[in-house]
Amino acid sequence: EKGQEIRLSGLREVHFGLQLAGIPHVCRFVESFEEHANENVTELWLVFKFEGQSLRQYLYETNVEGSLIHFQTSHFWRDLRQSPHGPRMIKEVMRQILQGVSFCHTKNVTHRDLKPDNLIVHVQLPSSGLVPSFEEERFSIVLKLADFGSAVDAYSVEHLYGTGGPSQEEETLDYAPPEVLFGDGVPCAAMRPHSYDLWSAGVIFLEMLLGTSKVFQIDGRTRAYMTVKMPNAPPKMIEQACLLKAFMEYRIYPPPSHSPSHSPPHSSHDPPAPPAPPAPPAP
């Protein structure tokens, strides 16, 4: 079953790679081919132009302590925040993200999984050291959107998502908009799916400023309380409940349930809604 889901994701990559060919700020798809690993397994291979490395690789670095691997903000991110030229770099990154998203939306394509892992960046800096520096003004950046395995358009929804249609399984919770998290399993707002990408772009902007994708957080005491109150819930459901609680603390609430823009496109296949997050303990 998982193999079929992965194959459909690859076929969506092929579909959108062809549909978005020549679009600025989208990774260049070259070709796809199949290879028979054995008589029972056929592998689908995708070929793209090399465009650079992910924005996440620029923003974070790994810190290995024994068998544990921690991610921490990188020298690049600290330069980004401390250099007088850092704001110009952030502005340029956001400009190119929004341009790429705008081009996709003109083709009625919603990416649905924008995050630093799926933004490929090529930075040219005058520094000759191993760690890029913003001490000089001269630098250029080219950013391209990648990984359209979760993207949707009219054709893919009907033909490339199987019988269940798009779901939250193809999405990343930290970057999902309120209408999805509050939406009883809907993959995007049916009448305004492009709003998904705009919310994700806003989270990425905050992530570049804060150095974390957890831009909507609750305090540790409340998180621990909610975890105890949901002993049998899977980790993803607990994380979703914590996000919903954080949204409510920011006064972000779901739209009215009768709103047509909030209706799922494939309601007969939607999974059941997660339980409402419990109230935090009294101080």
Strand order through the sheet with 140-145: 53-54, 119-124, 140-145
The DSSP call for residue 22 is T
Count other C-beta atoms under 10 Å from residue 196's C-beta: 25
CA atoms within 13 A on the CB side of 90: 23
Distance CA 232, CA 179 (A): 25
- The candidate with the shortest Cα–Cα distance to 49, out of 124, 123, 146, is 146
SS3 state of residue 235: helix
- H-assigned helices in the chain: 2-19, 55-59, 75-82, 86-106, 154-159, 178-181, 195-210, 220-229, 235-249
Closest residue by Cα to residue 32 from 148, 110, 113, 119: 148
Do β-strands 60-65 and 29-38 pair in parallel, antiparallel, or remain unpaired?
unpaired
SS3 65: strand
* Amino acid letter, residue 212: T
Which residues belong to the active site?
113
Q: How many CB atoms lie within 10 A of CB 77?
A: 20
Enumerate the β-bridge partners of residue 29: 48
**Residue whose token pair is 């949901």:** 230
